[in-house]
Structure 1
Amino acid sequence: MLVIRPITAADFPALKRIAIESGPGFTSLPDHDERLGQKIAHAEHSFAAQVNQPGDQGYLFVLEDTSSGDIVGTTGIEAAVGLHTPLYHFQQNTIIHHSAELNVLNQLKTLTLCNDYTGASEICTLFLRESYRRNHAGRFLSKVRFLFMAEHPTRFASKVIAEMRGAADENGIPPFWNWLQKLFLTIDFPTADKLIGVGKKSFIAELMPRHPIYVDLLPQQAQQVIGLVHENTKPALKMLEAEGFRHRGYVDLFDAGPTVEAQLTDIRSVAQSRKVAVKVQEVQGESTLAIANTAVRHFRASFGKGAHYCPEQQLLLLSPAMAEVLQLESGDFARFINLDQR
């Protein structure tokens, strides 16, 4: 059985392996021991804190295979981004150049540096080992964050964002990067990627263009990938779009991948989740349910058919094995969604 729980210091070796496996471009989980240790300590503090509004909290979860004890995935939520270290994007706009005398009207696309998402919550750091990418595990790893947010809404902002990895070539270098490197940064992509990953972002404000950039002046290769996602990221984007996330024109500075957003209460899995009492008994459900307890520091979530919801009694029947993993007893409350519903 797979179970989601808050990360602990003992998970450092597993998190480092995931950081290595995830490869370049996964800036929220860099292969950097000090930064990984900081992220774990920050998460432990965040789960333990008494919070009534979003602030500088980061909730990092790990997916554990209970049969082996192996950590096979990770997923996370930042409560409020950009409060201490600015979160930059390019905003896509259209400006009009008009000459009545010449009867000329030109609509020109631009990119403008901004930090409009300051204070928003961000879902991030989603990674699942390839051998486990089956039987709803990926859907569960994504959606479990919404169960946690639905149960503890005061910990999060009303707006939720997700930054999607942009298009890259066979060497992992974004086509969008080349013009930026040549004109403004003069460092290679792996170096910039590493600096972002370890939290050293001051060079963005110091070196990035401060005025709107006319898209038509960029190389054709760069223009073509603005707002596109990496091939491996398409399933994740499709899943978030089904949850109600939409792209409003904001893209990443370095790979031009889209940032998508949704209102917390409008996210499908938040709105459709149900909180009900639990009764522990032998049961074999027909649907695959994702179920979470209502704790913070001792949060647990799992999925499977060892559960069945009885709408007449408003009870969630849990098998003893599922209840044990979730640390639940009869009379406790749990929150769940149906993973079979697309």
Structure 2
Amino acid sequence: MSSSYVMRPSRLDDFEVLMQLAEESGPGFTSLPVHERIIRERLEKSVKSFAGALPEPQYGKYLMMLEDAETGEIGGCSAVKAGVGIDQPFFNYRVITLAQASQAADRRFDMDALVLTNEFVGYTEVGTLFLRQTHRGSGAGRLLAQSRYLLMASDPERFGDMVLAELRGVVDSEGKTPFWDAMGQHFFRMEFTEADILSAITDNQFILDLMPKYPIYVDLLPPEAREVIGRCHSDGVGAMKLLEWEGFRFERTVDIFDGGPLVAAPRNMIRTIRESREVTVKVGEASGAAGIMSNDRFGEFRVSMAEGALESDDLFVTSQATLDRLHLKEGDRARIWLRS
């Protein structure tokens, strides 16, 4: 992985490149829609969130950009939403199992059903993780993902005790998804892409108005819809593996539009947070330890790869270039996660 990558808070002048990322992300990437007003609003809210200018911090949304510090090129983005289900409902389907039995008919079997829920109120959400094709395979995806957890560690009071991630479900290049075609299409009478945009620009009242209020038996859905329930998009397989490595688990909750999986974990049990430590940084030539380091300053947060050595439990020796990327100087405090 290029050691010159750095994660930094998004700025208003990231608008053009963020629109490019939205185009490249493809259909079904709900958190990064190709919609100018939404993108501008998200940049503005992120800037206010990092600046501490929101009257209610639980509504904070923190968008970060992956930048090559040497070239200025943007390679991707990721984000943290401080709380979901607070200012508007966060609807999902929970897959429940119903036991069916009849002594008279001598039958006993289980059937799955989908139940509309709004059970993640107050959870922090990690998402919007997108890495450009030309930067894949370099390890940059891990930096995109782990930087979100170091952000939480820098100021835990801003975030919920539980953290969730919603992965894009099976959607083709034309924006078609078997789950939507078998389910949502019948209740919303609109295309998947239209519902996707509505969920991003409204308070989601339309979901409460139009979604079925009763359980949907999975066996009544066509096979192509049943088989994608809880499956993530092919582009999200790597992200799913990273989430599982961090300690996130799938507990049979899926997106109401594309059937993609939701995973969750206690914030304090997330691996990057749990294994990170605060250190004082020192400039010098050292090796033997590698990982990611943040400046641990919430308002001007920055994260980068770091190599060096632990001189003691509280002192990390690394290069001047690493400190420069993080806007640190020798003797400053930082937070580091080291590969074991």
Separation (CA, whole Å) in 2 of partners of 1:273 and 1:133: 25
1:7 to 10, 18, 22: 10
CA-to-partner distance for each residue in 1:43-99, whole Å, 9 max, x for gaps?
111111179996101011111111111222111000001111211100010112333
Q: Which amino acid aligns with 1:141?
A: L
Q: Which amino acid aligns with 2:296?
A: T
Separation (CA, whole Å) in 2 of partners of 1:181 and 1:86: 17
CA-to-partner distance for each residue in 1:118-148, whole Å, 9 max, x for gaps?
1100001111111111332111110111111
Structure 1: gaps spanning 5 or more residues = none
The equivalent of 2:331 in structure 1 is 331
Separation (CA, whole Å) in 1 of partners of 2:282 and 2:228: 51
Give the CA deviation at 1:216. 0.7
Separation (CA, whole Å) in 2 of partners of 1:172 and 1:188: 9
1:38 to 31, 41, 60: 41
Counting aligned pairs with the same residue, the percent is: 38
- Is 1:314 the counterpart of 2:314? The answer is yes
SS of equivalent residue, structure 1 residue 69? coil
Give the CA deviation at 1:169. 3.7
The equivalent of 2:239 in structure 1 is 236
Q: Is the contact made by 1:51 and 1:154 (CA closer than 8 Å) also made in structure 2?
A: no
TM-score, L = length of structure 2: 0.94
Q: Which amino acid aligns with 1:271?
A: R
1:271 to 250, 270, 274: 274
1:211 to 210, 214, 222: 214
The equivalent of 2:110 in structure 1 is 107
Q: Is the contact made by 1:65 and 1:72 (CA closer than 8 Å) also made in structure 2?
A: yes
Q: Is the contact made by 2:27 and 2:173 (CA closer than 8 Å) also made in structure 1?
A: no
- Is 1:120 the counterpart of 2:128? The answer is no
Separation (CA, whole Å) in 2 of partners of 1:299 and 1:73: 17
1:290 to 289, 292, 308: 292
Separation (CA, whole Å) in 2 of partners of 1:170 and 1:70: 26
Q: Is the contact made by 2:150 and 2:273 (CA closer than 8 Å) also made in structure 1?
A: yes
After alignment, is 94-103 or 228-237 more displaced? 94-103
Q: Which amino acid aligns with 2:235?
A: N
SS of equivalent residue, structure 1 residue 134? coil
Q: Is the contact made by 2:26 and 2:173 (CA closer than 8 Å) also made in structure 1?
A: no
Runs of 4+ in 1 over 4 A off after TM superposition: 50-54
Query: For the aligned residues, what is the CA RMSD?
Result: 1.9
Separation (CA, whole Å) in 2 of partners of 1:285 and 1:199: 51
Give the CA deviation at 1:105. 2.6
Separation (CA, whole Å) in 2 of partners of 1:182 and 1:148: 38
Q: Which amino acid aligns with 2:63?
A: L
Q: Is the contact made by 1:7 and 1:62 (CA closer than 8 Å) also made in structure 2?
A: yes
The equivalent of 1:75 in structure 2 is 78
After alignment, is 137-146 or 189-198 more displaced? 189-198
The equivalent of 1:143 in structure 2 is 146
Q: How many residue pairs end up in the alignment?
A: 337
SS of equivalent residue, structure 1 residue 176? helix
Q: Is the contact made by 2:48 and 2:54 (CA closer than 8 Å) also made in structure 1?
A: no
The equivalent of 2:20 in structure 1 is 17
Separation (CA, whole Å) in 1 of partners of 2:202 and 2:40: 13
CA-to-partner distance for each residue in 1:202-224, whole Å, 9 max, x for gaps?
22111111111111111111111
1:139-288 correspondence to structure 2 within 5 Å: 139-169=142-172, 171-199=174-202, 201-281=204-284, 283-288=285-290
1:61 to 51, 61, 64: 64
Give the CA deviation at 1:2. 1.0
Q: Is the contact made by 1:30 and 1:198 (CA closer than 8 Å) also made in structure 2?
A: no
TM-score, L = length of structure 1: 0.93
Separation (CA, whole Å) in 2 of partners of 1:52 and 1:149: 19
Q: Is the contact made by 1:123 and 1:162 (CA closer than 8 Å) also made in structure 2?
A: yes
